[in-house]
Amino acid sequence: MRRIGPLAVLSAALLAVAAPAWAESVKGTVTQIDPAAGKVTLDHAAIPKLGMDAMTMAYKVRDPAALQALKSGDKVEFEAADVGGQYTVTKIRKAK
C-alpha cells in the first residue's frame, strides 16, 4: 500500500481552501460601464444561485473602484448576490 506524503496532503488542503474563492463565478462580457452610478452592464451566462437565466443586465457593483480596470467588450468572471433586494456584483475580474 502506498503512503501519501505530507507534501501531497498539504497541496490537497491548499487546493480545497483556494478553489471555493471563485467557485460560483459566472462568465460574462462587459457591455457598458457607468462609474457615476457604480454600475456595470453584463451580458452573462445563467446564475443558478440567483435563479437567473442568461441575459444582459445592469448591476450595482459592491466596490465601484473595480470598474476602473474594466472596459466595454472585456470578458469577465463575476459573482453576484441579492443584497438588500438588489442584485449586486460582489466580485469581478477579467477572465483568464
Residue 12: what residue type?
A
Question: CATH number, domain at 72?
Answer: 2.40.50.320
Q: What is the pLDDT of residues 19-74, one digit of tens each?
A: 455 568 999 999 999 999 999 999 999 999 999 999 999 999 999 999 999 999 99
- What is the pLDDT at residue 19? 47
pLDDT at position 24, please?
83
Q: What are the angstrom distances between the C-alpha of 87 and each of 9, 11, 81? A: 39, 36, 6
The neighbour count for residue 28, using CB atoms within 10 Å, is 27
For residue 77, being part of any structural domain is answered with yes
- pTM for the full predicted model: 0.76
Q: Which domain, by its residues, includes 58?
A: 24-94
pLDDT value for 86: 95
Instruction: Say if residues 29 and 43 touch (Cβ distance below 8 Å).
Output: yes
